[in-house]
C-alpha cells in the first residue's frame, strides 16, 4: 500500500507544485497572484484537446500551440485584471483575477461543452508492472517535468540576464525602473510564464484524468494551498510542498479512506501554517500597506 | 367612441362576448398537456438526459399521432437541466409545476436530485415519474399519499442482481465495493451489504470516491489487499471511468460488475481500452429479437435521429426504453384519471391494468404498496463493445 500511496502522491503532488510555481513567480516580482491559475490548467488541456482530437493536429504541434494560448491568457489576465488595480493602489486584483477565471471557465463551457472528454496518451495506456504495483510512464514523467521546470525557474532567475532583471525588480522596483528595466513588461512576462506552467500541468494530468471546463477549479485551490505552504516566494519550497501535499493526500486516502482525505489534508495545511505562518520554506516579509 | 349603443350594437356586444368565451373554452380544450423533465442535460451525465428525452419524444409523437390525451389535447415536453445538482433540480421542479403548469414530472439519472424533488412533488400533489435514478428511497419515501412512481431499476433489487452476476459469472466469494460518495452510494452500500449477506458472501470492503477524484488507486489497493476478487462499482460515467483507469494503472485485472450509472455519459471514451471489461446492468437492449413495440420504437428512433443507424447507436438504451414505457403508462393513467388533476392522475396510475410495453408486458404495474413497475426479472447484463452496448452472452 505504501508504494501505491507514494506513486499516487508524488504524481499528483508534482502537478500541484507545477501549478503553484506560477503563484511564486508572479508574487515574487509583483506582490500579486493570479487566482485564475486553475483556469490556466484547464485552458492548456482544453486547447490541446481541441487541436489534437478536434482538428487532428499532431501532439508535437498541439502542445506548443496550447501553451502559447496559455501564455497569451496570462498576459491578458495581467493587463485586464491586475495592472489597472495595482496602478490605483487597490487590492481589487484579488477579485478581478477570480472573476476573469470564472469568465474563461464559462466561455470554454459554451465553446467546448459541458461533457468531460478524454485526451488519450500512449504514456497512460500500458503500465509498467513490478509485482502488485503498476505505474504509467506518464506518472514517472510528471515529477521529472515538475522538478525539471523548478530547476529551470531557479537557474533562470540566477543565471540569466532576464533573471537578474527579475531579481532586481523583486529587490527594489523603483530602483530597477531607474536602471531602465521595464518592470511592467517583466511582470507581464511572469504572468505569461505562470499561466504556461499551469498549462503544462493541465496537459500532463489530462490523460490520467479527463478534460473539462471545470477541471481547473480543484487544482487551482490545492495549488494555492501548496504555494502558501511552500512559502510563496521560494520555488523549491513550493515544489517540495507540492510533493508533501500529494503524499499526505494519498496516504490519508490509503490508510483512512477517501472520506477522510480532505479533512486530513486541509487540517494539516492549517496546522503547518499555525506553526510556520510564512510557510515551510518562506521568509518573513514586511508588507507595506 | 359612441356613448349610446344602437339596438343592433346592444345585441352584438353580448353575443360577441359569448362567442369569444366559447372560442376561449375551445382553445383551452386544445391547450397542450405539459409534461416536465428535470434531468442532467449537460455535464458528465448529459447523454442520460438526451436518452430520456429521445424515449419521451418518441412516445409523445406516437400518443399525439393517435389524437393526444383527454379528448384531443396534445402532449408537450418541457425540459429543464438540473446539471446533476440537487438544488438546481429542486428549483427546476418548482418552476415547472408553478409556472409551466406541468401535470407530471419525469426525473433523470441522479438519485440525489430525485431525492431532493420527492418532497416537492409530494407537497404539491403532482406525480413524479422516475425513469433512471435507482435509489430505493425515491419511491419508498414514506409519504402517504405517495406521488412518486418509477419505471426503472431499484437499488435494492439491482444490488441482488449485481451480486448474483458476480457469483455466477466470476465465481466471486469476496467482492469489494467502490461507491460514489453521495446518497446513491449510501443506498447501494445498504443494498449490496444486504445482498451479499443473503448470498452468504463476505465483502472485502467498501470504498468511496468523489466525482472529481483524479486517482483512485489508493482505494483500489485497500480492496486488493483485503482480498477482493471482484469489484462492484456504483458511480456515473466520469468517476466510473476514473475507477477503471486506476485499475488499469495498477494493472489489477479484477472483474468489474457495475450499476448502470456508467452508461449515462461518455464512459467508453473516458475509460479507454479497459471500458469493455466492465459488466453492467440495464433494463433493455435493442439488440436481438424485438417484440412489435421494440421494432416500432427502433424504426421511429432511426427515422427521427440521423445518428441512430442501428441498435448499437441507441445509447444509453436504458434511458430511452424506461422513458418510452413510462410516458405510455402516463398516457394510460391520464385516460384513467380523465383529468390532469394531480390526485386523480395519481389514482390513474394505480388504476392502470395492462400495457404491452417495450421492456415487458406490464400487468397492474403500480399498486398502493408498490410504485416500481420493474423488478429484478427485468434486468439484463451488458458490456461496451466500442461505443455500443451489447448484451453479455454465454
* A195 has a chain B CB within 8 A of its CB: no
Distance, CA of A117 to CA of B105 (rounded, Å): 30
pLDDT beyond 60 at B10: no
Give the one of B42, B213, B221 whose C-beta lies nearest to A4's C-beta. B221
B228's torsion region: left (phi>0), alpha (psi -120 to 50) or beta? beta
* Chain B residues inside the 8 Å CB shell of A263: none
pLDDT beyond 70 at A119: yes
pLDDT at A2: 80
Q: What is the pLDDT of residues A97-106, one digit of tens each?
A: 999 999 999 9
Distance, CA of B150 to CA of B132 (rounded, Å): 8
Residues in chain A: 289
Task: Look over chain B and give the mean of its residue pLDDT values, rounded to a whole number.
Answer: 90
Distance, CA of B115 to CA of B131 (rounded, Å): 13
Helix (H) or strand (E) segment spanning residue B232: strand B230-234
Q: What is the pLDDT of residues A1-45, one digit of tens each?
A: 788 788 888 888 999 998 999 998 898 888 899 999 999 999 999
Give the one of B217, B241, B272 whose C-beta lies nearest to A125's C-beta. B272
- At residue B1 the predicted structure's pLDDT band, cuts being 50, 70 and 90, is very low
* A92 has a chain B CB within 8 A of its CB: no
Q: What is the pLDDT of residues A132-178, one digit of tens each?
A: 788 899 989 998 998 898 888 888 878 888 888 877 777 777 787 77
Burial of A229 (0-12, 13-18, 19+ CB in 10 A): buried
Helix (H) or strand (E) segment spanning residue A111: helix A93-112
Q: What is the pLDDT of residues B161-199, one digit of tens each?
A: 999 999 999 999 999 999 999 888 998 999 999 999 999
* Contact between B217 and A8 using a beta-carbon 8 Å cutoff: yes
pLDDT at B24: 46
Compute, in degrees rounded to 10, the torsion defined by CA atoms B41, B45, B49, B51: 140
Distance of CA B158 to CAs B136, B375, B379, Å? 10, 8, 8
pLDDT beyond 60 at B222: yes
Q: What is the mean pLDDT of residues B277-303?
A: 92
Say how many C-beta atoms besides its own lie within 10 A of residue A167's C-beta. Answer: 14
pLDDT at B60: 98
Of B9 and A35, which is predicted with more confidence? A35
Q: What is the pLDDT of residues A61-94, one digit of tens each?
A: 999 999 999 999 999 999 999 999 999 989 899 9
pLDDT at B16: 53
* A5 has a chain B CB within 8 A of its CB: yes
pLDDT at A5: 83
pLDDT at B329: 98
> Cβ(A82)–Cβ(A96) under 8 Å?
yes
Residues near B370 by Cβ (< 8 Å), separated by ≥ 6? none
pLDDT beyond 70 at A283: no
Interface of B with A in 208-267 (CB under 8 A): 208-210, 212-215, 217-219, 221-222, 224-225, 238, 241-242, 245, 248-252, 265-266
HSE-up of A24 (CA within 13 Å, CB side)? 36
- At residue B45 the predicted structure's pLDDT band, cuts being 50, 70 and 90, is confident
Distance, CA of A140 to CA of A34 (rounded, Å): 28
Of A9 and A114, which is predicted with more confidence? A9
Say how many C-beta atoms besides its own lie within 10 A of residue B381's C-beta. Answer: 20
Q: What is the mean pLDDT of residues A230-248?
A: 89
* Chain A residues inside the 8 Å CB shell of B43: 114-115
* Contact between A257 and B222 using a beta-carbon 8 Å cutoff: yes
ipTM above 0.90, yes or no: no
pLDDT at A189: 93
To which residue does cell 458511480 refer? B235
pLDDT beyond 90 at A231: no
Grid cell, residue B123, equals 407537497
Count contacts between A and B (CB, < 8 Å): 100
pLDDT beyond 80 at A282: no
pLDDT at B394: 59
* Contact between A4 and B217 using a beta-carbon 8 Å cutoff: yes
Nearest CA in chain A to B222: A254
- At residue B309 the predicted structure's pLDDT band, cuts being 50, 70 and 90, is confident
Distance, CA of A61 to CA of A47 (rounded, Å): 11
Q: What is the mean pLDDT of residues B4-21?
A: 54
> Cβ(A50)–Cβ(A119) under 8 Å?
no
pLDDT at B26: 45
Of A251 and B324, which is predicted with more confidence? B324
Q: What is the pTM of this model?
A: 0.80
pLDDT at B27: 44
pLDDT at B12: 56
pLDDT beyond 90 at B322: yes
Distance, CA of A8 to CA of B219 (rounded, Å): 11
Residue B149: helix, strand or coil by DSSP? Answer: strand
Q: What is the mean pLDDT of residues B244-252?
A: 91
pLDDT beyond 50 at B30: yes
Amino acid at each position: 500500500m505504501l508504494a501505491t500511496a507514494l506513486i499516487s502522491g508524488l504524481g499528483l503532488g508534482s502537478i500541484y507544485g507545477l501549478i503553484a510555481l506560477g503563484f511564486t513567480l508572479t508574487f515574487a516580482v509583483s506582490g500579486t497572484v493570479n487566482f485564475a491559475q486553475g483556469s490556466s490548467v484547464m485552458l492548456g488541456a482544453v486547447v490541446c484537446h481541441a487541436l489534437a482530437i478536434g482538428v487532428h493536429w499532431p501532439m508535437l504541434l498541439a502542445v506548443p500551440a496550447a501553451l502559447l494560448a496559455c501564455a497569451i491568457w496570462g498576459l491578458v489576465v495581467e493587463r485586464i485584471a491586475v495592472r489597472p488595480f495595482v496602478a490605483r493602489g487597490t487590492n481589487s486584483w484579488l477579485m478581478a483575477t477570480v472573476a476573469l477565471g470564472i469568465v474563461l471557465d464559462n466561455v470554454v463551457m459554451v465553446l467546448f461543452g459541458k461533457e468531460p472528454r478524454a485526451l488519450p496518451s500512449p504514456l497512460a495506456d500500458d503500465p509498467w508492472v513490478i509485482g502488485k504495483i503498476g505505474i504509467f510512464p506518464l506518472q514517472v514523467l510528471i515529477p521529472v517535468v515538475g522538478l525539471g521546470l523548478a530547476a529551470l525557474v531557479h537557474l533562470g532567475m540566477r543565471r540569466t540576464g532576464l533573471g537578474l532583471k527579475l531579481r532586481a525588480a523583486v529587490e527594489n522596483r523603483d530602483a530597477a525602473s531607474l536602471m531602465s528595466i521595464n518592470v511592467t513588461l517583466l511582470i507581464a512576462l511572469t504572468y505569461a510564464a505562470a499561466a504556461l506552467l499551469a498549462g503544462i500541468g493541465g496537459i500532463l494530468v489530462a490523460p490520467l484524468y479527463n478534460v473539462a471546463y471545470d477541471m481547473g477549479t480543484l487544482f487551482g485551490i490545492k495549488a494555492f494551498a501548496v504555494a502558501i505552504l511552500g512559502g510563496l516566494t521560494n520555488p523549491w519550497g513550493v515544489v517540495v510542498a507540492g510533493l508533501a501535499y500529494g503524499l499526505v493526500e494519498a496516504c490519508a486516502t490509503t490508510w483512512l479512506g477517501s472520506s477522510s482525505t480532505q479533512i486530513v489534508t486541509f487540517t494539516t495545511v492549517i496546522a503547518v501554517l499555525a506553526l510556520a505562518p510564512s510557510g515551510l520554506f518562506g521568509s518573513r516579509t514586511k508588507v507595506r500597506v | 367612441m359612441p356613448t349610446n349603443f344602437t339596438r343592433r350594437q346592444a345585441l352584438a356586444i353580448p353575443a360577441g362576448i359569448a362567442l369569444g368565451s366559447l372560442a376561449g373554452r375551445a382553445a383551452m380544450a386544445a391547450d397542450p398537456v405539459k409534461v416536465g423533465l428535470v434531468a442532467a442535460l449537460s455535464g458528465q451525465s448529459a447523454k442520460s438526459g438526451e436518452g430520456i428525452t429521445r424515449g419521451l419524444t418518441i412516445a409523445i409523437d406516437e400518443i399525439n399521432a393517435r389524437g393526444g390525451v383527454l379528448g384531443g389535447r396534445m402532449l408537450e415536453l418541457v425540459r429543464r437541466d438540473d446539471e446533476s445538482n440537487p438544488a438546481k433540480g429542486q428549483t427546476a421542479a418548482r418552476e415547472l409545476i408553478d409556472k409551466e403548469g406541468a401535470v407530471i414530472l419525469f426525473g433523470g439519472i441522479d438519485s440525489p436530485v430525485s431525492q431532493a424533488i420527492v418532497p416537492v412533488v409530494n407537497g404539491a400533489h403532482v406525480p413524479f415519474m422516475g425513469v433512471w435514478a435507482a435509489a430505493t428511497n425515491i419511491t419508498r419515501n414514506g409519504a402517504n399519499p405517495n406521488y412518486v412512481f418509477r419505471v426503472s431499476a431499484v437499488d435494492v433489487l439491482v444490488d441482488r442482481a449485481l451480486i448474483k452476476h458476480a457469483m455466477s459469472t466470476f465465481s466471486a466469494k469476496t467482492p469489494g465495493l467502490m461507491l460514489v460518495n453521495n446518497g446513491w452510494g449510501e443506498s447501494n452500500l445498504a443494498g449490496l451489504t444486504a445482498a451479499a449477506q443473503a448470498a452468504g458472501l463476505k465483502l472485502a470492503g467498501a470504498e468511496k470516491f468523489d466525482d472529481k477524484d483524479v486517482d483512485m488507486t489508493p482505494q483500489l489497493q485497500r480492496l486488493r489487499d483485503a482480498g477482493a476478487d471482484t469489484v462492484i462499482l456504483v458511480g456515473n460515467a466520469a468517476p466510473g471511468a476514473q475507477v477503471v483507469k486506476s485499475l488499469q494503472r495498477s494493472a489489477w485485472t479484477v472483474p468489474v460488475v457495475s450499476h448502470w450509472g456508467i452508461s449515462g455519459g461518455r464512459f467508453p471514451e473516458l475509460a479507454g481500452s479497459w471500458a469493455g471489461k466492465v459488466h453492467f446492468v440495464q433494463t433493455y437492449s435493442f439488440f436481438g429479437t424485438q417484440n412489435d413495440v421494440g421494432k416500432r420504437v427502433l424504426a421511429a428512433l432511426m427515422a427521427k435521429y440521423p445518428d441512430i443507424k442501428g441498435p448499437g447507436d441507441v445509447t444509453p438504451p436504458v434511458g430511452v426504453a424506461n422513458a418510452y414505457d413510462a410516458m405510455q403508462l402516463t398516457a394510460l393513467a391520464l385516460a384513467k384519471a380523465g383529468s390532469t388533476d394531480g390526485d386523480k392522475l395519481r389514482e390513474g396510475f394505480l388504476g392502470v391494468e395492462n400495457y404491452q410495453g417495450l421492456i415487458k408486458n406490464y400487468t397492474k404495474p403500480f399498486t398502493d404498496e408498490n410504485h416500481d413497475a420493474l423488478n429484478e426479472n427485468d434486468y439484463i447484463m451488458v458490456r461496451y463493445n466500442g461505443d455500443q452496448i451489447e448484451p453479455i452472452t454465454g
